[in-house]
Amino acid sequence: MKYPILSSILSLALSSALAAQNCSDNTYPVTLVDAYGVPAPTTLDPVTNEPVSRFQNEDVYVAFDPNIPSGTYYVHVTDRVDGVADMVLSTNDPMDRFVLITNNGAGNITLSLPMSANAPVTGLGLGGIGQSLLLQPFTSNPAEPCQFKAWCGDWWDLTNGPSNPYMLQGGLNPNTMTCAVRSYSQFQIGDGTPADLSGVVFADANQNGEQDTGEAGLPGWTVNLVTNGVSVSAVTGNDGSYQFPNIVCAEYSVELTMQSGFLATTPVVYQIESCGCADVEVAPFGVVANCLPCDGHTIGYWGNCNGLQKVQQLGILPTLPALGIVNSCGQRVAPGTLWQFDHYLQQANSTNMAYMLSAQLVAMHSNVIAGFVDVNCVIEENGLGQITIGDLMQRAVLSLWAHPFTNWCSPHRAEQALLKNALDHANNNQNWVNACGCNNGGCGNNGGCGNNGGSWGGNNQGGSCGQNHHRRSPYRRRHHC
């Protein structure tokens, strides 16, 4: 060939021209899905003649094509970009819009933010495989409310900054001489009716920050909705719920007014950004009483003078038959005198585990009647997790009525041992979660108040009866067993 260099240049130019002709958008289409990777239903937009995904809330995720090449992409939300006041609607940090897509094959896509210290908020990808990316937060274009377009591309022009709705480029990328990846998809949020903001305030009994089954809402609590320095208030109803109707596109601060005697188990302020297109459900506000009396007293205490005096004063003896307590033979018992009560506790042993469970239950039952322990006090115990003392006692009662004799061969012995240990630890103040402390002295979890003035192995701690009872410690006996 006479002019090899010229020929190479011409060939490259021809290849580039051909490539440019073959470059097109949506070669790797994006799909708009919910958090579980399920695509939203679509209709046709009569203005742009493009498919529109329709969502009932603002939880819109973008799922990437299973064949998209790995690399860094720019992802943001605009309006429809149809020439009507086109604008970028994403309101997150622009550095969070750079997304590293790692395609591990077979649609297993993982996402990260290479330009940011933040982690992406992700859902499931298409068909529940890999990850999708949450597009929030974004605002709405007043000229075209609740109409949006999600974009993803690997060639961007930042000359006019991140507010440029046309920054993602298509066609042949002259820097790489390859086709740019540019994909987009329209979506609409809501049905055109005004949006409401709602939530709930609940009693978080186990203090885990989540509203679990059985944790009721609290009436009469004030919640404030603040935006642009303007605050409006709502009061929770009987079910603990509150609502602010007809909110507009704005950034809001949802603030719980705390009441005296309560502690928050969740944030008391939530920052919400709404496009005003769909109802917004705010995360629950959880509260708990500042502290509860969770001051356990042991079997030893209830067998000494102070304990026996309370048993007499509070009329505890007639309440015992309802517990279904048993003796070493599995027979139902009902101590009718203080001596019988004391003797029953002293003789407790785990040959029949139901007997030992009975004794610990009697001690806790007495603690509740005496006001030492609130039934809403929460313990945390291996094998049980977090449970209120009231629920624990109920389980113990049901077990005793169902299985009064659990010797070493009984299949129900292990369950009763678990309940017995939990009550034992609570009577010894070793597993409380929400205790005020021992007589306000600060038990806490794994706190130490000893045996609260009662031990089978010592002299009548906590009261003088005129004689010393040399008793073997029930804790040591239980530990031995």
The DSSP-derived string for 377-436 is: -EEEETTTEEEEHHHHHHHHHHHHHH-S---TT-TTHHHHHHHHHHHHHHHTT-SBSSB-
Residue 99 falls inside a structural domain: yes
Residues 6 or more apart whose CB falls under 8 angstroms from that of 123 comprise 33, 34, 35, 36, 37, 61, 131, 132, 133, 134
Residue 9 falls inside a structural domain: no
- Domain boundary pick from 244, 271, 289: 289
Sign of the CA dihedral running 336, 313, 302, 465: negative
Structure tokens that stand for 310 in this block: 């309370």
DSSP H helix total and E strand total for the chain: 8, 24
Of 315, 446, 434, nearest in space to 370 by CA: 315
**Whether 132 and 246 share a structural domain:** no
Of 372, 301, 312, nearest in space to 339 by CA: 312
327 vs 333: CA distance, rounded Å? 7
**Whether 98 and 233 share a structural domain:** no
Residue 10 falls inside a structural domain: no
Calculated CA dihedral for residues 211, 216, 219, 223, nearest 10 degrees: 0
Q: Output the pLDDT for position 18.
A: 43
107 vs 67: CA distance, rounded Å? 7
Q: Output the pLDDT for position 271.
A: 92
Residue 41 preceded by cis peptide, ω within 30: no
3-state secondary structure of 384: coil
The half-sphere exposure of 328 on its side-chain side, counting CA atoms within 13 A, is 9
Q: Output the pLDDT for position 364.
A: 97
- Domain boundary pick from 143, 164, 189: 189
335 vs 317: CA distance, rounded Å? 7
Cα end-to-end span (Å), the chain: 99
**Whether 399 and 316 share a structural domain:** yes
DSSP 114: T
Q: Are 77 and 89 in contact (CB under 8 A)?
A: yes
386 vs 75: CA distance, rounded Å? 43
**Whether 396 and 469 share a structural domain:** yes
**Whether 469 and 331 share a structural domain:** yes
Of 269, 240, 273, nearest in space to 256 by CA: 269
**Paired strand residues for 178:** 173
- Domain boundary pick from 189, 223, 241: 189
**Whether 205 and 163 share a structural domain:** no
Q: How many domains does the chain have?
A: 3
Q: Output the pLDDT for position 413.
A: 97
Q: Output the pLDDT for position 476.
A: 24
Range of the domain at 359: 299-480
Ordered per-residue pLDDT tens for the chain, 481 residues? 444 444 444 344 444 444 445 899 999 999 999 999 999 999 998 888 889 999 999 999 999 999 999 999 999 999 998 887 899 999 999 999 999 999 998 889 999 999 999 999 999 999 899 999 999 999 999 888 999 999 999 999 999 999 999 999 999 999 899 999 999 999 999 987 889 999 999 999 888 999 999 899 999 999 999 999 899 999 999 999 999 999 998 999 999 999 877 889 999 999 998 888 999 999 999 998 777 789 999 999 999 999 999 999 999 999 999 999 999 999 999 999 999 999 999 999 999 999 999 999 999 999 999 999 999 888 999 999 888 899 999 999 999 999 999 999 999 999 999 999 999 999 999 999 877 644 333 343 333 333 343 333 232 323 333 333 333 222 222 333 2
**Whether 20 and 160 share a structural domain:** yes
Question: Which stretches within 68-203 are classed as H helix?
Answer: none
Q: Decide the pairing of beta strands 178-179 and 222-227.
A: unpaired
Residue 56 falls inside a structural domain: yes
Q: How many CB atoms lie within 10 A of CB 47?
A: 14
**Whether 157 and 201 share a structural domain:** no
Which residue's entry shows tokens 């002259």? Answer: 174
**Whether 474 and 360 share a structural domain:** yes
pTM: 0.56
Residue 463 falls inside a structural domain: yes
